[in-house]
Structure 1
Amino acid sequence: MNTNLRNIAIENSDTIVQMWLEKIDSLKGEEFRFSTSDELFENTNREFVNVIFTSIKQQGSLIEVITFSEKLITLGWPLSYITDGLQLFRRVTIDYILSNSDQVDTNFFSAVLTSVDKWVEPIIHQLINEYTGSWEHILSIQRIALQELSAPLIPVTDGITIMPLIGTIDTERAKQIMENLLDGVIKHNSEVVLIDITGVPVVDTMVAHHIIQAAEAVRLIGSNCILVGIRPEIAQTIVNLGIDLTNLPTKSSLKKGFITALEMTNRKVINLKPMEDGIEEMINSIQGE
């Protein structure tokens, strides 16, 4: 019976495909429409249904299914498109076989349901497994990349490094900041680290606590921290929250923090402009002679 039903579906695949294509458009919601062209949506739908029929013809071969799932990942299409599309194919195929058969007894109806389920279920499972596996892999790679970029330690001169922080700081990221900070201080032999929070939108008690902890950890390994990028609104928030930054030097800008860091390492910025003017006058005098 299963073989006969498979042959019926394959022999009438053009009709079933057309029925499926007419109904699949309803799955394309408004958000999906804005991000996907009609041509791409139609072409992908045709490829989708061909993948289904290829699997049915080859009696369970899922090579094309895996390739198709990778394409959907690349396109960024939602998992619901896969599951809804396959469920729709199940309904269309069952309706077509039943409506074009002279048999109406419960045994035949049960056989049709069982057969179509055997065709569709392995495809659903494989597509979902491939989709979620690939997606988790991509997310893992992106998470690692973001962690590497989330708290970089940049050496600017001997003994002085800068850690620019951008975005929200949560507990997980604070841990990453601490690890990068300590590793970087030792790696670059830093005497002073400037933690720049200019790009941090909100500094609350938790964020301040993490920064103070990081600065204290740096102090314990023989270096110093300066917190820079203290905007007026952040200064007001820190005061209102009663956060104690007595032991952590702060500056309003990176420039001021860098000048302080130079002083802490027994260096200073010298303005060479007057010297340049004097040299120019000397050259003019010589030329005049």
Structure 2
Amino acid sequence: MDKKIANYIKTHKELILSRWKSEMKEQGDERFVRVVSNRVFDGASQQFIDLIVSNLMESNEEFSQRLHKFAENVVHIGWPLNFVTQGIRKFNEIIFHGMSEEGVVTRENYMEFTEGFDKWFGPMNDEILSTYTSTWERTVTLQKIALKELSAQLIPVFEGISVMPLIGTIDTERAKQIMENLLHGVVKHRSEVVLIDITGVPIIDTMIAHHLIQAAESVRLVGAKCMLVGIRPEIAQTIVTLGINLDSLITKNTLQAGIEAALEMTNRKIVGVEVES
């Protein structure tokens, strides 16, 4: 039974790949399919089919190595888990349908072939999903660590003036880290004015606004003033729509405008200097 399935897959590999790509593009998430280029999608699809075929011919160790490489690749390009599970199921359907069309699967041996497919695809399906999930979890953990290390640092730009650039989505855990870094930096750099730059924050909701207001209040309690800069038009519209009250915060639309205002607040200003020719 396994030999018949293996022979069909090996002799119809290109046809299976073509059908699989076509049907997965039709059924896949439109946003994902649109973002991933045809070259990347074709390459990952070929790798996926090769992975399943290799399970027929390679040792467990070789298959495991190929599987881990595939998992790392699809996690990197952003294949969702449901896309992977659909892909495995669709591959199964294409093979079974193709073998039925050629008369390999008949009414007489239908149950026997069904049991053969389950016996072959079941363990492989479990192993693929397990490896994909562990790879995805490891990737997300590493990204969180990197984001934590790279973001939310208070940077002194002038005497008494510091900037904290924020990048990416802010959740409760990050908000706590921001607060700690902010208060520690204000004391360390003896900041009089702190600018929180949200240019790189894609979304501002009620929870994030609440954390920013808390941060501003904490800065005020340690003797400094807080300013929110980098408010883009779409962010301003969201803040108004949600009814978020930022009256306790000084706001500016750009970092440059914020620095100019901070200089005025510390009795300084930027002046032009004429250079003698």
TM-score normalized by the length of structure 1: 0.67
In the alignment, does 2:8 pair up with 1:6? no
Distance 2:130 2:48 in 1: 16
Distance 2:129 2:58 in 1: 20
Distance 2:167 2:150 in 1: 10
Deviations 1:89-112 (A, max 9, x none): 32343345565459743xx43332
Query: Which of 71, 81, 84 does residue 82 from structure 1 map onto?
Result: 84
Contact 1:90 1:117 in 2 (8 A): no
Please state whether the residue corresponding to 1:77 is helix, strand or coil. coil
Please state whether the residue corresponding to 2:153 is helix, strand or coil. coil
Please state whether the residue corresponding to 1:12 is helix, strand or coil. helix
Corresponding residue of 2:127:
126
Aligned residues: 256
Contact 2:209 2:244 in 1 (8 A): no
Please state whether the residue corresponding to 2:163 is helix, strand or coil. strand
CA spacing shift, 1:71–1:111, aligned 2, 3 Å:
same
Deviation for aligned residue 1:202: 8.7
In the alignment, does 2:21 pair up with 1:21? no
Letter in 2 for 1:56: L
Contact 1:196 1:227 in 2 (8 A): yes
Corresponding residue of 1:73:
75
CA spacing shift, 1:111–1:151, aligned 2, 3 Å:
same
Trace 1:176-195 onto structure 2 (pairs within 5 A): 176-186=177-187, 188-195=188-195
Trace 1:199-218 onto structure 2 (pairs within 5 A): 199=199, 209-218=210-219
CA spacing shift, 1:225–1:110, aligned 2, 3 Å:
same
CA spacing shift, 1:13–1:241, aligned 2, 3 Å:
closer
Deviation for aligned residue 1:191: 3.8
Deviations 1:123-149 (A, max 9, x none): 222222222222233233333444455
Please state whether the residue corresponding to 1:195 is helix, strand or coil. strand
Letter in 2 for 1:74: H
- Give % identity: 33
Deviation for aligned residue 1:259: 3.4
Contact 2:220 2:226 in 1 (8 A): no
Corresponding residue of 1:253:
258
Corresponding residue of 1:224:
224
CA RMSD of aligned residues (A): 4.1
TM-score normalized by the length of structure 2: 0.69
Contact 1:198 1:228 in 2 (8 A): yes
Trace 1:105-120 onto structure 2 (pairs within 5 A): 105=108, 108-120=109-121
Corresponding residue of 2:138:
137
Deviation for aligned residue 1:215: 3.4
Distance 2:23 2:270 in 1: 70
Distance 1:88 1:249 in 2: 56
- Which stretches in structure 2 are left out of the alignment for 5+ residues? none
Letter in 2 for 1:70: E
Distance 2:43 2:245 in 1: 61
Distance 1:229 1:103 in 2: 70
Distance 1:181 1:131 in 2: 37
Trace 1:236-247 onto structure 2 (pairs within 5 A): 245=248
- Which stretches in structure 1 are left out of the alignment for 5+ residues? 281-289
Distance 1:80 1:33 in 2: 17
CA spacing shift, 1:164–1:121, aligned 2, 3 Å:
same
